[in-house]
Structure 1
């Protein structure tokens, strides 16, 4: 049995974090030694034999809810006790629901959708590692935990963007101190003045001026997306105040 990658991988000009998660999952499924679950031990109507993860893609939607929860509890147990590749497998099996959640999160969102996608994958990993899985609908509970975490971040990001619109127009001459003349020089001057760090300047310059996705910049700097977002938010607040103070004194 093979995995229909078209069902979980969306081709595009630039793969999203969810696309990359799907790609990693497909690579695991294509291995000749793809991991398996012990259906005999799990019971609940599951085939009494080793069940490969590639087979789970088609099998899970056909199972009764109780059996699906048994499978997901076993997946979570393996994530927490054995590590990779089980987190990647769990994300891959949850992709249809995660894509639906991602589509809801990016609706009317003015920022980079890839940031939310990346944060959703990260939040799902965190839910796998620590969320309460007692009770029914285990996968839905994990997904809801991740969704709600990113929804709170989305709300905070949009509210913050509304308060710092100056940064979206950083390249406009009216917002740049006269002595600098170019947004890159503004960032360099802010670093020299001790307003922001070099790493923070890189975060702002790459994601705001060069329009590189925050998740890509975070990966380049070796930072989790959440950390990069928080650091950029703090740095932008200091930079905005510094620019406004410089303008008022010139």
Structure 2
């Protein structure tokens, strides 16, 4: 089963579709903090050579932080203070520190060669989780803290891609082929070939998956609906919904393999 890949834009005016991604959702929260009536600010002298400037909104700090003209020592002391605040003050600084990585993560993930069946949102979530975990544990005195964070994200997404490719080779290479075979084979009970929705219906009848799981698979894999939309509908996190779908698809794959052995 496949889902449609939806391209995303990266212009400053975030489109509604961007809210369907973990990076987009984090970006909206970050910008809201920077543009509220009393914006969240950061000492300007840590990131620029203008001592007369007391403080900047956090989004301006991020822009300056990423600019090529910003000296390495200023960039390093900014990251050191960001990590210190995240570790000692918690919210909202832990979220702000993670959000500071979003522009680089976007570029990094845009270059990532991921399997078609591995959803963009899942990769983004993995990258952000790696940054957040590293942010809590990294030594604030370490040099080039930003590299530590980006390296952790890079390792995490490549592990995810590697695992997805192995799973594809092991299961999609077998189960998806099995699925295609089942869809195209004539069956005595129906007198013709079946499609993926019919197979899902039969899996529900056989109590392999329940109705909610079948609908989740159909809407995300066949219709291409974003997981974030369904997570909102069901009142659960996107990550929890991925795990829920994965468990259902594993049972479905096992069921298909057993069915093929019986033919």
TM-score normalised by L of structure 2: 0.71
Matched, 1:102 2:109: yes
Alignment RMSD, CA only?
A: 3.7
Match of 1:206 in 2: 219
Q: What is the alpha-carbon distance in structure 1 between the residues aligned to residue 47 and residue 250 of structure 2?
A: 55
Alignment gaps of 5+ in structure 2: 1-8
Structure 2 contact 115–164 (Cα < 8 Å) conserved: no
- C-alpha displacement at 1:136, in angstroms? 0.9
Matched, 1:89 2:102: no
Q: What is the alpha-carbon distance in structure 2 between the residues aligned to residue 119 and residue 215 of structure 1?
A: 15
Relative distance call for 1:22 and 1:238 in structure 2 (3 A) is: same
Aligned length: 243
Q: More displaced, 171-180 or 131-140?
A: 171-180
Tell me the SS of whatever aligns to 1:164. helix
- Deviation digits for residues 101-148 of structure 1 (CA, Å, limit 9, x no counterpart): 11222x253233343233323332333334444411111211211221
Relative distance call for 1:30 and 1:98 in structure 2 (3 A) is: same
Match of 1:229 in 2: 242
Relative distance call for 1:223 and 1:164 in structure 2 (3 A) is: farther
Structure 1 contact 167–236 (Cα < 8 Å) conserved: no
Tell me the SS of whatever aligns to 1:14. helix
Match of 1:144 in 2: 151
Matched, 1:47 2:60: no
Q: What is the alpha-carbon distance in structure 1 between the residues aligned to residue 211 and residue 50 of structure 2?
A: 55
Q: What is the alpha-carbon distance in structure 1 between the residues aligned to residue 47 and residue 127 of structure 2?
A: 32
- Greater relative CO, 1 or 2 (CA 8 Å, sep 6+): 2
In structure 2, which of residues 61, 68, 72 is the aligned counterpart of residue 65 of structure 1?
Answer: 72
Q: More displaced, 175-184 or 119-128?
A: 175-184
Q: What is the alpha-carbon distance in structure 1 between the residues aligned to residue 35 and residue 164 of structure 2?
A: 38
Q: What is the alpha-carbon distance in structure 2 between the residues aligned to residue 21 and residue 96 of structure 1?
A: 11
Matched, 1:119 2:132: no
- Deviation digits for residues 11-58 of structure 1 (CA, Å, limit 9, x no counterpart): 568326233433332222222311123457x69967373343133134
TM-score normalised by L of structure 1: 0.74
Alignment gaps of 5+ in structure 1: 1-5
Structure 1 contact 115–213 (Cα < 8 Å) conserved: no
